[in-house]
Amino acid sequence: MHLAPVWGYGRKGNEKFNIPPNAGLDFEIELKNFEKAKDSWQMNSVEKLDESEKLKTRGTEFFQQGKNKLAVIKYQKIVDYLQHESSLEGEQKEKRDNLYRAAQLNLALVFLKQNETHEAIKHCEKVLEEDKTNVKALYRRAQAYQNQNDFDLAIKDYETVLTVEPDNKAAQGQIVICKKKMAELAQKEKKLYVNMFKNLSKDEDKEKVGKSSAEKMDAQPACSLQAAGEMNGDHVTPKLDDVEDGMFDDAPATTATQS
């Protein structure tokens, strides 16, 4: 295995080990022992519970270190182990439920951190299928809705939290924030529609003016139009006697206009 200098001793090097500055390090790793983990179908219920405990601990360590992808792998493994374990009773069932729900809630939290709101909602709903008043699932789903600007759905979940925990300050505060955001969004939409209708009205007025001008031109007599053309310096067909007198012999090919 090779380590770049930045991951080794860097610019200083290490005199004790005779490593110069900015030196890369090469390691030889020898595997002494290996034990393949059992697949899910090879485990009994007790083994799955024990393994899930270890996975939860490891996943939380990864999450705290910011290694979200590795945390997701550990938490998802717990879900795979326990989602179909429905025959347990007593303490084992309680342990299974706690581990399973914790894994789903932690997955929701990781995806919230990554702003993957649809995934977060999905994992919250898996918990709510088993426990409709789970405060963490309701709160995290509300956060995901809020991040999607689905403020009505977010408020509904926050209010459900308050029916379970009436003194939940976080839920109370988020309801206020959601209502404020809704008001701001409504104001922006109002301005957008006002400007849109103003532009439509201007376009209609221009169209009316254009039609009115065209109608006036159509109604104007032909002789008037000819006179107007002469006054404005538009091209006028020369009279026969002008041509014969040679008035246009030296005129350029393009039509001259009066200044």
Other CB atoms within a 10 A radius of the CB of residue 105 amount to 20
Q: What is the pLDDT of residues 133-172, one digit of tens each?
A: 999 999 999 999 999 999 999 999 999 999 999 999 999 9
The yes-or-no verdict on residue 224 having pLDDT over 70 is: no
Contact 126, 107 (CB under 8 A): no
Q: What is the DSSP letter of 254?
A: S
Alpha helices, DSSP H, located in the chain: 45-64, 68-82, 90-113, 117-130, 135-147, 151-164, 169-219, 222-231, 240-244
In Å, the largest CA–CA distance within the chain is 123
Contact 111, 121 (CB under 8 A): no
Structure confidence at residue 251 (pLDDT): 40
Which has more confidence, 257 or 38?
38
